[in-house]
Amino acid sequence: MKIVIDMRIYGPEPGGPGRYNQKLLENLIKIDTHNQYILLFKSKPDNLPHLPMNFSIKIVNIHWYSFKEQFILPFILNKIKPDLVHFTHFNVPLFYNKAFVVTIHDLIMTRFPSRKTSTLNKLFFVIKRLAYNITIKHAVKKSKNIIAISKFTAQDIIKYFKLDNKQAEKIKTIHNGVDFPVVENNIKANLPSKYLLYVGNAYPHKNLYFLIKAFKKFIISHPEYYLVLVGNKNYFYNKLKDYTNKLFDQQKEKVIFAGFVPDNKLASYYNQATAYVFPSLYEGFGLPPLEAMHFDTPVLSSDQSCMPEILGNAALYFDPKNKEDLLNKLEQIISGQDLRNKLTNTGQEQIKLYSWYKTAQEIQQLYKTID
């Protein structure tokens, strides 16, 4: 079987299609010696693993979400004549009509269509929304199978694209795997002795304004605590920081904006934290809480979207629209050693459920079922 995998988004950043592609490839080469794979890249990655004889790469300098993707990429694929194409993101060319599977990570752009979630001006935002809606609808309707990275995402697809029972059968839930930052014993972050931690981006659906406002109330009775926010600096990160500085005024040092932290240092941020707090309104999978569990950090998580599915009984849940509920759960965490021990022990069992090797095995088995 000749299989093309679209790996134009490829890289080590935590979460998202880039990490998904990297880990899928690293594990497929361990388990599949029979199928012929052709991997599409924009350029050859520096961190590409050694490929066995049945894997080859093809450089296609076509940016995702571009006109060339719609018109030139189908031409290239038709020349290759694959038995199957795996698009690992929703951006399937409208003019490609041969057999393909698609991985859909989430429906964030469907669930949060406001301009507040974008830095584009009104015209470009409207154009992007229209292109997104057409493209993802095509991917859902025309695919042989859809890989959803959680049962929640699968149900979201069924709901928002109004799939009947027969159409819904082509959705296969295959959870992401998890790999964890490497601990370097000689690296210790210069952080306060007591702090709450958040790791992730600052996009609006992450609900960080809610967390900031709740924390301001929390430190009235617990002035010894700090809040540490780790994430890439961008428009949304900087906007949140400006808001926080104004809200806290003379106490703005209580919220530490750490910016991007590399994996070899990130471990110490988890290790030293009193608790990890995840207030997100929507996730397709949710990696950082699992990372926190790996480092024996108690997790407080939003009870929304896929989080109860992914985290199971290993997190203490709160309503991400109710500050009093979060404050109550924070009190339980910081005052209850037995609860913290229970959460960390359960967390160690929960993370064993997720493996990139298992993910690759399930995807390879899915390939076999497609005519």
Distance CA 278, CA 48 (A): 32
DSSP 344-359: HHHHHHHGGG--HHHH
DSSP 81-104: --SEEEESSS---TT--S-EEEEE
Cβ-contact 88, 24 below 8 angstroms: yes
Residue in the block written with tokens 């924390």: 215
Using DSSP, state whether 40 is helix, strand or coil.
strand
Q: Compute the C-alpha angle 65/108/169, nearest 5°.
A: 90
Helix axes 337-350 and 323-335, enclosed angle (nearest 10): 100
Cβ-contact 13, 24 below 8 angstroms: no
Give 195-353's CATH code, choosing from 3.60.150.10, 3.40.50.300, 3.30.300.30, 3.40.50.2000.
Answer: 3.40.50.2000
pLDDT value of residue 47: 83
Q: What is the arithmetic mean of pLDDT over 305-315?
A: 97
Task: Give tens-digit pLDDT for 82-120.
Answer: 999 999 999 999 999 999 999 999 998 888 766 565 565
Residue 305 has pLDDT above 90, yes or no: yes
| Domain boundaries, given as residue ranges, for the chain | 2-177+355-368, 195-353
**pLDDT: is 287 or 218 the higher one?**
218
Backbone angles phi, psi at 4, to 5 degrees: -100, 130
Q: What is the arithmetic mean of pLDDT over 39-46?
A: 92
Our CA dihedral for 327, 196, 234, 181, rounded to 10 degrees, sits at -130
pLDDT value of residue 57: 97
One-letter amino acid for residue 165 of the chain: N
* Assigned CATH topology for domain 2-177+355-368: Rossmann fold (3.40.50)
Sheet of strand 100-104: strand arrangement: 55-59, 36-41, 2-6, 84-87, 100-104, 145-148, 171-173
- For 159, left (φ over 0), alpha (ψ -120 to 50), or beta? alpha
pLDDT value of residue 120: 57
Confidence band of 126 (pLDDT split at 50, 70, 90): confident
Rg (the chain; Cα; Å)? 22
Confidence band of 129 (pLDDT split at 50, 70, 90): confident
Q: Do domains 2-177+355-368 and 195-353 have the same CATH topology?
A: yes
Which residues, in sequence order, are bridge partners of residue 69?
none
Task: Give tens-digit pLDDT for 158-189.
Answer: 999 999 999 999 999 999 998 876 666 656 77
Task: Give tens-digit pLDDT for 356-368.
Answer: 999 999 999 999 9
In the chain, how many H helices and how many E strands?
14, 13
Q: Which helix (H) or strand (E) holds 278?
A: strand 275-278
Cβ-contact 178, 287 below 8 angstroms: yes
Of 124, 125, 171, 134, which is closest to residue 151 (Cα–Cα)? 171
Mean pLDDT of all residues belonging to the chain: 91
Distance CA 98, CA 107 (A): 24
Percent of the chain past pLDDT 90, that is, above it, reads: 77
Q: Three-state secondary structure along 13-41? A: CCCHHHHHHHHHHHHHHHHCCCCEEEEEE
Using DSSP, state whether 156 is helix, strand or coil.
helix
Reported pTM: 0.91
Which residues, in sequence order, are bridge partners of residue 176?
none
pLDDT value of residue 112: 77
pLDDT value of residue 17: 84
Confidence band of 125 (pLDDT split at 50, 70, 90): low
